[in-house]
Structure 1
Amino acid sequence: MRSQFCGLVDETLIGQTVTLCGWVNKARVQSHQVFFDLRDHEGIVQILVESDQPELFEIASSLGQEDCLRVTGKVRERHSINDKIRTGRVEVLAEKIDVMNRAINLPFHSHETPGEDVRLKYRYLDLRRPEMQRMMRTRIKLVQALRAWLDARGFQDIETPILTKATPEGARDFLVPARMHAGEFYALPQSPQLFKQILMMAGFDRYYQIARCFRDEALRADRQLEFTQLDMEFAWVDEAEVQDTVEGMIRHVFREVMQVELADPFPRMSYDEAMRRYGSDKPDLRIDLELIDIAEHVRSVEFKVFAEWANHAEGRVVALRAPDAATWSRKQIDELAAHAAKYGAKGLAWLKLEDRSKGREGVNSPIAKFFDDATLNAILDACGAQNGDLLLFGAGPYKQVCDFMGAVRLKLGKDLGRIEHSWRPLWVTDFPMFEWDEEAGRYVALHHPFTAPAVDDIADLKANARIAVSRGYDMVLNGNEIGGGSIRIHRPDMQSAVFDLLGISREEADAKFGFLLEALSHGAPPHGGIAFGIDRIAALMAGTDSIRDVIPFPKTTTAQCLMTGAPSPLDPEQLKEVHIRTLEA
């Protein structure tokens, strides 16, 4: 139907007749000529129609944006060169125009960016836009580069089931009624985790899969109900072997897709260090601001909030230096405090260092009166404060302070223009094995219940569960967790012990994971793996904050598909066939 793509027509084709297919990008009708740009996924080329061909001129004069055409004509040199586009030195003198379909009542045009609801309702039009074409093709190149690298190194692409068994986090499962088993349900997988572990036990040493996964939880810019991950698993490996292998893969795909060279090797940082220095287990190293612990300096001050948490076994008091921000208004500081409050802050104390040579008179702060001169100077020294700096303080439970001061650090980095234009990857390692869930009154797994602890002794693990460290690891890039994995438990007694610590009874473990425990007892090798978020990596590469921009048909933040109208009610007869009856809300 076509001989060339619109965006690939160049000087090498001058004098040749070509047939092109695409959409009208824009048209300019003059008294004796019609110019219009024809667009396909490779770009645009200018089409010229002369008035000496009356029928053709009439067709061209009637064209509207997004009309779908096939054009045959001769390539010639363009009189007015446009160096902004690849085809800007040539044009096509039309000899024939076939209107394949008219575009009527367009909700928006390809050069416009309407609101997201409109974009998602008319997603086919949105995806035609050059910017969306660029972002989607970035994702395509990413997946191609990943597959090529994995296939060349002996990884085996193996599919795992989509209809499977509900997980311990069952409230987040999507359930599918089993028509042939009344009252029973399948679950859509949140991850192929157990199946890929079973594959290691089955002797498939290096597995991968571009896997579709499903999780019924609140949506946001970096989260969707259905998402895509690169799932990988290795047998007979330790942490370093997994990390070194996949690190090489990520360097390769960034080189192929982005022409970017990432660090070699990636730096490693423990979870404890990341939380202490940056208040986050996915620190953005492009921002050169760090949290400074000042508890030792404020244990005896009159400021009760500081003193109380400085002396609390699980408390934290920190300062964050904002260079050259002493000129900030009270309104700007209050906006920071409001941002911190979203992450649990009860308040955000501050201090402006205007002129240290003036001593206390050179300090502007509502809390300075609670510090004697020695304490004030110790805090300034600890923070490396300079004239013109703003210091921000947080106090409270350790994890809570990390959360809100980490969020303040990120906002400050943006507001102060201190985000370096670079790619800063790292590994975060040595995660806690468990977190204590106050509401549930039990431990929960920080990664998942199949992650191996750093200790091999079950008695040691049970005795020190609160401070137990796992063999988990995350790959972080520019403040985004792009991959997470661990060495897995490969002994049935250790897996049972972890289930016990997580409050999963023996009966529940047998019902949900009996097949896994049995498989572990049949000669399971040591194994580990990782999963990478394809959507998140593609969004980073494409330079967008929302993964919806790199997913062809995403859901809205209210979990709807505006184009198809999903979710939607079902016919009662269809529900009856799968043994489902709905209740009135």
Structure 2
Amino acid sequence: MDTMIGLKRSHSCVELDKGFHEQQVTLCGWVSRRRDHGGLIFVDLRDRSGIVQVVFSPDVDQDAFAKAESVRTEFVIAVQGTVMLRDVDTVNPNMSTGEIEVLGKELRILNQAKTPPFYIQDNVDVDEILRLKYRYLDLRRPEMQKNLILRHRVTKAMRDFFDRQGFIEIETPMLTKSSPEGARDYLVPSRVNPGKFYALPQSPQIFKQILMVAGMEKYFQIVRCFRDEDLRADRQPEFTQLDIEMSFVEREDILQMMENMVAYLFKEAAGVEITSPMLRLTYDQAMDRYGSDKPDLRFGMEFVDLTDTLRGCGFKVFDSVLDAGGKIKAINVKGYASIPRRELDGLVNYVSTYGAKGLAWICYTPEGIKSPITKFFSEDVIARVTATAGAVEGDLLLIIADQSAVVANALGQLRLEMGRRLNLIDPDKLSFLWVVDFPMFEYDPEDKRWVAMHHPFTSPRDEDIQYLGSEPGRIKAKAYDMILNGTEIGGGSIRIYQRELQEKVFTAIGLTPEEAYDKFGYLLDAFEYGTPPHGGIAFGLDRLVMLMAKRASIRDVIAFPKTQSAADVMSQAPSEVTPKQLRELSIRSEVIVKKTEV
């Protein structure tokens, strides 16, 4: 390794093109690949911008050629040389710098590197845990750097947009009061207040509402949030959201501004035009037609409601479901009547994992209708089913009969599965919609009480406030979610801003006045000092960038994510702490005590 660094960089690799012909440049980066062709050594030099080919010849400089013989993959080097045009037959159309190369005249090895545990290239086939353990190497891959650059562009566009709209970015606390009315909090012990704990924020919700009380009127923040919950491909214990709140607005004001914001983000950060206005569905419409409050509308296959069509049909299975207040719905899989019986049996097993007790099917083949259930139907019933479903020759009708929630979940998942199997989902299509008018509450059978579907600060519709004390299940909220390709990317609501109404909502979810004040007293007190009407929304930045980058996991757009066990395999967090640290925090760990005893 050269002891003197030297060779100050003059350009990035991808800056170079034919316009630099015969100019002297100094480049710095990593050796992506080295090829020894006997009399010449070719080095693909990589920096964040991309790759350029450097050629070393003993006829140009013996010392540089000798050093080039010793470099290996991922060595960090500095190169001084002259930009030259490649011969026509050696032009590489797959590289942005493929028309030129740099004739190396001086080379300095700035640092050596061990052989990486995997190739530093795109589409590398390696276990994700290994990638996360060596994240500093994984992040050298061009596709990962592209993802993080996209994330940077998105956050910059967010700040630019809201600044132009008169918003101000305000930081809210990271150490807050625990209020376990949703996911589990991450708790932080207080050394100076023994036995007491802070909580890391699941959301800045209460603070941004208090900022509206404070007269800030237009607030936004790109903020870290924390939830101690089970992980999925689109969840992390710590995540980033774009948080927004506005005073003196109604739902339409927020929805319109957010559509404009999303269109601006996609155009500025990804060069994609978004059409407006976005489709809107009520929660009830979305559940009725797709079985989901975040439907993927890149393909059709809407539910067909056969409940009334099959009422009194004489088939005992269907009759018993309808007598119990259930539903019968189907999807029409166009042109798939030739499905193999083995695959049909597999679909029965598939829907059973989502609670369905069975799956009925009707194939409209050239030879006629094939189905194990049509023998129980009259010709008139079959004709009505066919007409209701819009079925024609070649179609496959898949039917589920059960309670409404089971039908929605199982048939909704089956719709998505058939969309995948038939390649109906266009990966390049962007399908946005708003889902509005969510239920205010949902019943928790485990706790035997009503809980807020979104959060307890969401305002009920004015016409539904009368049901707060009697029929919570009837109440619709002034809540709204933005959906992209079957994923919720943002959610918000018009907020409660009057103490009396907020206290009624706390009562509806089973909090006594004393419990409500203990948890949220500072918000209730603030409401007594002239709180303006206000509302807002929060967007999941990780999910949004994941979809923009066309990745399957948010871990691909986060620099240092956790695994599905909430662990950082690179830094080995979480880790044990010393007994001294615990004593300073007035904490006694049963786990550590047991280990010590052993």
TM-score (norm 1): 0.97
1:529 corresponds to which of 528, 533, 536: 536
Instruction: Show the counterpart of 2:296.
Output: 284
Offset of residue 456 of structure 1: 5.9
Instruction: Show the counterpart of 1:206.
Output: 218
- 1:10-159 alignment, distance < 5 Å: 10-52=17-59, 53-79=61-87, 80-111=90-121, 112-159=124-171
Instruction: Show the counterpart of 1:402.
Output: 408
Q: Which amino acid aligns with 2:117?
A: P
Give the match's secondary structure for 1:525.
coil
CA distance in 2 between partners of 1:457 and 1:426 (Å): 25
Offset of residue 39 of structure 1: 0.4
Instruction: Show the counterpart of 2:4.
Output: none
CA distance in 2 between partners of 1:275 and 1:337 (Å): 22
Instruction: Show the counterpart of 1:559.
Output: 566
CA distance in 1 between partners of 2:201 and 2:342 (Å): 47
CA distance in 2 between partners of 1:443 and 1:555 (Å): 33
Partner deviation per Cα, 1:394-446 (whole Å, 9 max, x = no partner): 12121221111111111111111212442111111010111111111111111
CA distance in 2 between partners of 1:568 and 1:170 (Å): 26
Q: Would you identify which runs of 4 or more consecutive aligned residues in structure 1 move more than 4 Å?
A: none
Offset of residue 332 of structure 1: 1.7
Is the 8 Å Cα contact of residues 186 and 199 (structure 2) preserved in structure 1?
Answer: yes
Give the match's secondary structure for 1:512.
helix
CA distance in 1 between partners of 2:179 and 2:376 (Å): 52
Q: Which amino acid aligns with 2:279?
A: P
Give the match's secondary structure for 2:139.
helix
Partner deviation per Cα, 1:355-396 (whole Å, 9 max, x = no partner): 4xx6xxx22112222222111111111110111111111121
CA distance in 1 between partners of 2:486 and 2:555 (Å): 19
2:180 pairs with 1:173: no
Instruction: Show the counterpart of 1:491.
Output: 498
Q: Which amino acid aligns with 1:268?
A: R
Structural RMSD (CA):
1.4
Offset of residue 457 of structure 1: 6.8
1:186 corresponds to which of 174, 198, 216: 198
CA distance in 2 between partners of 1:336 and 1:56 (Å): 64
Partner deviation per Cα, 1:93-148 (whole Å, 9 max, x = no partner): 11111111111132112123411011000001001001111112111111111111
Identity over aligned residues, as a percent?
Answer: 47
CA distance in 2 between partners of 1:171 and 1:418 (Å): 35
Q: Which amino acid aligns with 1:519?
A: A
How many residue pairs were aligned?
A: 579
Give the match's secondary structure for 2:98.
coil
Q: Which amino acid aligns with 1:90?
A: I
Q: Which amino acid aligns with 2:70?
A: S
Instruction: Show the counterpart of 2:383.
Output: 377
Is the 8 Å Cα contact of residues 73 and 115 (structure 2) preserved in structure 1?
Answer: no
Give the match's secondary structure for 1:61.
helix
Q: Where does structure 2 lack aligned partners over 5 or more consecutive residues?
A: 1-7
CA distance in 2 between partners of 1:304 and 1:499 (Å): 45
2:371 pairs with 1:365: yes
Q: Where does structure 1 lack aligned partners over 5 or more consecutive residues?
A: none
Instruction: Show the counterpart of 1:393.
Output: 399
Offset of residue 545 of structure 1: 1.1
Offset of residue 277 of structure 1: 0.7
Q: Which amino acid aligns with 1:296?
A: D
Q: Which amino acid aligns with 1:580?
A: I
Give the match's secondary structure for 1:574.
helix
Give the match's secondary structure for 1:463.
coil
CA distance in 1 between partners of 2:414 and 2:183 (Å): 32
Offset of residue 12 of structure 1: 1.7
Instruction: Show the counterpart of 1:442.
Output: 449
Give the match's secondary structure for 2:27.
strand
CA distance in 2 between partners of 1:552 and 1:490 (Å): 38
Cα–Cα, structure 1 residues 51 and 228, in superposed 2: closer, same or farther, change >3 Å? same
Partner deviation per Cα, 1:422-476 (whole Å, 9 max, x = no partner): 2111111010111111111111111110000002674433233111100000001
2:231 corresponds to which of 203, 213, 219: 219
Partner deviation per Cα, 1:52-94 (whole Å, 9 max, x = no partner): 2222112111211111111111111112111211111111111
Q: Which amino acid aligns with 2:447?
A: A
Give the match's secondary structure for 1:110.
coil
CA distance in 2 between partners of 1:81 and 1:105 (Å): 30
TM-score (norm 2): 0.95
Q: Which has the higher mean CA deviation after the structures are superposed, 337-346 or 530-539?
A: 337-346
